[in-house]
Amino acid sequence: MNRKIIAIGAEAVLYLEDWLGLTVLVKERLPKGYRRVEFDNYIRRSRTINETRAMIRARELGIHVPRIYDVDPVNMRIRMEYLNGVPLVRLLMSSSNGFNAAIISYIRTMGSYIGVLHRNGIVHGDPTPANVLIVGDKLYIIDFGLSETLGRAPTIQDVRMLYKLALDLNVTLRSLEALRKDQSHFLFAEFLSGYESVLGFELTGRVKAIVNKVRKMVRYSVR
């Protein structure tokens, strides 16, 4: 079976494969030699299953994600639709003279998609522009490898859950700062515009407040 490796990450290798006449993307979680075999197998299997469930649920919610074709929890592989798109991170990095309406729309759509996930109790884990693909006129969210399904919708009273949502958004903000420090607050505001359109003013305000609190704690600890 022909394979073409396209990326090797800390957790998994991604490669293209000819599978049943289709060119599919395979994500295979590799063993970690520094962990006990039983524990390593448990972690890799759990993350493979969690990622698959989160992607299937996201698709049910109307979010564009790659189609899942096959899951192999024994060999820790997911075969999914291969999307030949443009990463949003590339568009942000190449826009040196400001952002056009299309890019702003993509950022807002990304925010609304993360809002849909959060509203339905799903934490993406790594919601950055690097994990957003533009395919044709559609925006796709990819790489749910660090996702967590909480099993309930967020409420104002559920501080623990709101904290998890805030950590997700903090990852987004930090990625924007790393990419475009000069425009990060503008971009995050556009992201939050899409996010708030789904999650609502009150919940969004609470999550934003926790993000600010987390960032202050980090700055204090660094000093």
The H or E element spanning position 15 is strand 12-19
Going by pLDDT thresholds of 50, 70 and 90, the confidence category of residue 219 is low
Residue 19, phi then psi, degrees to nearest 5? -130, 115
Question: What mean pLDDT is predicted for residues 24-52?
Answer: 93
Residues in contact with 105: Cβ distance below 8 Å, sequence separation at least 6, in sequence order: none
pTM of the model: 0.92
Catalytic residue among 126, 137, 143, 168: 126
**Mean pLDDT of the residues in the chain:** 92
Class of domain 86-222: mainly alpha
pLDDT tens-digit series, residues 62-95:
999 999 999 999 999 999 999 999 999 999 988 7
- Six-digit token string for 47: 């993350």
**Could you tell me the residue ranges of all domains in the chain?**
3-81, 86-222
pLDDT of residue 222: 36
pLDDT tens-digit series, residues 84-125:
999 999 999 887 777 899 999 999 999 999 999 999 999 999
Residue 155, phi then psi, degrees to nearest 5? -130, 160
24 DSSP 8-state letter: E
pLDDT tens-digit series, residues 144-163:
999 999 989 999 999 999 99
Pick 3-81's CATH classification: 3.20.20.140, 1.10.10.10, 3.30.420.480, 3.30.200.20: 3.30.200.20
Q: Is residue 215 over pLDDT 70?
A: yes
Q: Taking the CB of residue 188, how many other CB atoms lie within 10 A of it?
A: 22
Quickly list H helices, the chain: 37-60, 88-94, 101-119, 159-179, 184-199, 201-222
Examine the residue annotation and report whether 182 is marked as an active-site residue of this protein. no
- The yes-or-no answer to whether 3-81 and 86-222 have a common fold is no
Q: Report the C-alpha gap between 205 and 192 in whole angstroms.
A: 10
Q: Report the C-alpha gap between 30 and 77 in whole angstroms.
A: 9
Q: Which residues of 40-62 are buried (b: 16+ CB within 10 A; e: fewer)?
A: bbeebeebbebbbbbbebbeeee
Q: Report the C-alpha gap between 123 and 117 in whole angstroms.
A: 7
Q: Report the C-alpha gap between 192 and 221 in whole angstroms.
A: 27
Q: Is residue 220 over pLDDT 80?
A: no
- Six-digit token string for 80: 């999914």
Whether 127 contacts 192, CB under 8 Å: no
